Structure 1
Amino acid sequence: MTENTVLPLINTAFEPGNARKAAESFADRDFREIAIAEFYYFTGQAQKCSDLVEIYIMSSRLELKLSACMLYVYSNLTLGNAKASERGLEIIRECLRKEMEAPTSERNTAYCVFAGYMGTVLLHLSTEELPDMKKYMSSLPQGLRIFAANVISHDLYLKGEYSRALGICDAALFSRKEIYPVGMIYLYCVTAMCEISLKNQAEAEKAILTAWKLAVKDELIEPFIELHGLLQGLLESCIRKENPEMYRKISDAVITFSRGWMAVHNPASDNPVTDALTTMEFSIAMLACRDWSNREIAEHIGVSLNTVKHYLTDIFNKLHVKKRDELKNFVLK
């Protein structure tokens, strides 16, 4: 059953392998176009997504406007167009400001808060001035509640509150009544991020493989592009050898997404990491600066100890650093 909501495809339950069919099932032409744009975005077709949603970013219908802006922000990050992403963020912030000053409905307020959080947390920007997302969860439909749980747990992950983040992920996954693949992929990815940060490798691998199983039939690769660095080598250890073609697509997109992300997140930085390191090097750098030993990194990623040493030497040379602690200035931002 489809519903004309913000991000209608995220809010739609469907069996893996039917994402395109679900996107095309909306009777309303405009919501169908937004759902197809979501499909383009999550399958790594950022340009098609951006082109399709641009006409809706100033729509008079709030659901269309917020959906278009969120997709416009993230598709243009993937394309490396930071200014376009900033434009989308500004429209979202203005919608939120107006709705909080003069609320139009409980659901519209929830939509605006949801969009504000999605455009802030996933870019690692401060949420201090935002309303509390948890207070508005009950006003969101089921699929968006699942995705909102992902955003809240991601925020807790960034604060180092891994156990609380895992609790929210588990509760959201347990309480669902149907399969909402997009939101569930993100929840399992956040679960994997938390578990690997706690060095629970087996649980992290289980979570990332569950996310991959939900994604692979529809080639929903964008979550793995967005979260590559935070997954800390899990794609390299679990996906690279088993599905080299899909891994290559992810790797090709990671660099441009990271450049766009850095331009929005820290525009004053002259930090060259997104240009200097390959995706494998970035994963190893993330693990190294989180106090993983060379042997632990080698076992986790599935390469030899000497290979890790060679990678680290190249990383240090490229970033002009001499010790692991200095890597934090580049990858833990």
Structure 2
Amino acid sequence: MKPQADLILTPGKRMQALCEARGISRKELANRLDIAPSQVSRILNEDTKSISSDILIKMATEFHVSTDYILGLEQKKQMERHIPMRLMSTSFKPGECLMLVNQLENPASREMAYCEYYYFTGQHDKAVNLTVLYLNHPDPMLRLSACLIHTFANLSLNRINAAKGGLRNLKIHLNQMIADNSDRRTTAMSIFVAMAAQTLLHLPVGKIPPLSDYLTELPKGMRLWGCYVLAHEAYLAQEYEKSLGIVQTCLMLSTEIYPIAMIYLNLMGAMDAMNLRQPDLARKYFMSAWQLAQPDGLIEGIGEHHGLLQGLIETCMKNDYPEDYKKIIQITYQFSYGWRRIHNPVTKEDIADNLTTTEFTIAMLANRGWTNTEIADYMTMTVRTVKQHLSSVFNKLNIDSRGQLKAYMLK
């Protein structure tokens, strides 16, 4: 419980009240926060003008309150309506991502845009450290944006309990917004976040109203990313033509460039084309995604989709962009490991977790019905090498035929 200090707006007095309510001395607080007692005294006596974000986070965690509560921000009744997922929602020229972020005047909007930038460039630690400050923010747009990024960034850092906690919070936010339903914009954002988590993690988040009914309530960039989610949903239902149709329609009708949303749409198009056995079209979509991602280093989405891209990262990047390829594969391993630790226990599926990226790619293609010769031509390797990789796959999965691969591969 929070102490009755809600009318005291200064952080030092709020922290003092929290200590008194719990019977914690300044020395004990210093030990718990792993800082010097003199530093605690300066904060509680208000001899310092600012408190570092690290101490704020530790204090909030220790007393199970929000950082906004400590800072007194929860009392603000009139608040600016923030744009959700600002970076995703905004059109900008590739290569000018950070310029856009730095030009944002509102500090909270700028920090949340940095959260997005850190996440989509694969800097997960930085993303988590910033999102923590906004998980309980009074503005629902900042709070939901932070919750989505926080969940996925922790997953890639193999902080599974934190990622699971983020999923629980998404469910709570969704249920609250649907029950209230007084603000369609906020409800739309809640549905967007829940649908994104459910579709990308292949996990049920709960009963979600149709995202298509609320797309017009979202900013255009988020609307495009929402269409990517709908296309991904069709892909998982093996409706590849429908999924590709959504992608093509969105890209044709867009008169401005929304790099983040369009990276994901093009990756979706590449995945659809691979499953329709059109590798040349798949390469075209993949390279469009890469051209949008490269100038700002927005490579997270490429790494996340490695298995579903079925070798496109290897065939399009390994030789021509070796350093970028290494970074993307690192993201792949991090995301895939965390994803399996959340996904497998819930679904009771046993998606392969001990294959190299090359082995996984070849296993995916074999599972899709590609012959060894077709795989060899596509991956620019010999048939003998393909057979060696498949033999290694069978040994690791303790199976002896292609027919048994289905249980271990992505759908």
TM-score by length of 1: 0.96
Q: Distance in 2 between matches of 1:56 and 1:124?
A: 26
| 2:288 equivalent in structure 1 | 210
Contact 2:82 / 2:142 at 8 angstroms: preserved in 1? no
Give the Cα separation in 1 of the matches to 2:331 and 2:263. 18
Over alpha carbons, which structure has the higher Rg? 2
Q: Find out whether 1:201 has 2:279 as its counterpart.
A: yes
- Deviation, 1:270, is 8.5
CA drift at 1:136? 0.4
Q: How many residues align?
A: 330
The amino acid that maps onto 2:352 is: V
Instruction: Evaluate the alpha carbon distance shift between residue 184 and residue 133 of structure 1 in structure 2; reply closer, same or farther with a 3 A threshold.
Output: same
Match of 1:162 among 240, 246, 257: 240
Q: How far did 1:320 drift? A: 1.1
Residue deviations 1:185-244 (CA, integer Å, cap 9, x gap): 000000000000010011001000110011111111100111000001111111111111
The answer to whether the 8 A contact 2:247-2:266 is kept is yes
In 1, the alpha carbon distance for the partners of 2:244 and 2:350 equals 31
With CA pairs under 8 Å and 6+ residues apart, which has the higher RCO, 1 or 2? Answer: 1
Question: Which consecutive residues of structure 1, in runs of 5 or more, have no partner in the other structure?
Answer: none
The secondary structure found in structure 1 opposite 2:122 is coil
Matches within 5 A, 1:20-99: 20-99=98-177
| Secondary structure of residue in 1 paired with 2:370 | coil
Partner of 2:301: 223
Mapped pair 1:120 → 2:120: no
- Once residues 133 and 127 of structure 1 are traced to their aligned partners in structure 2, the CA distance between those partners, rounded to angstroms, is 14
| Equivalent-residue separation in structure 2 for 1:271 and 1:127 (angstroms) | 20
Equivalent residues of 1:121, 1:127 under 8 A apart: no
For residue 238 of structure 1, what is the aligned residue in structure 2?
316
Compute the displacement of 1:22 (Å). Answer: 1.6
Distance in 2, Cα, partners of 1:183 & 1:212: 13
Kindly provide the amino acid, as one letter, of the partner of residue 290 in structure 1.
R
Give the structure 2 partner of residue 263 of structure 1. Answer: 341
Q: How much has 1:332 moved relative to structure 2?
A: 2.5
Residue matched to 1:273: 352
Q: CA deviation at 1:128?
A: 7.3
- Counterparts of 2:171 and 2:109, CA distance in 1: 22
SS of residue in 2 equivalent to 1:230: helix
CA contact (8 A) 1:147 1:183 kept: yes
Q: Counterpart of 1:27 in structure 2: which amino acid?
A: E
TM-superposed deviation, 1:98: 0.9
The 1:320–1:8 alpha-carbon spacing in structure 2 relative to 1, beyond 3 Å, is: same
Q: Does 1:296 align with 2:371?
A: no
Alpha-carbon separation, structure 2, partners of 1:153 and 1:128: 20
State percent identity of aligned pairs.
38
Secondary structure at the residue paired with 1:112?
Answer: helix
- Two-structure CA RMSD over aligned residues (Å): 1.5
Residues 272 and 200 of structure 1: CA distance in aligned 2, closer, same or farther (over 3 Å) = closer
**Contact 1:285–1:331, Cα closer than 8 Å, also in 2:** yes
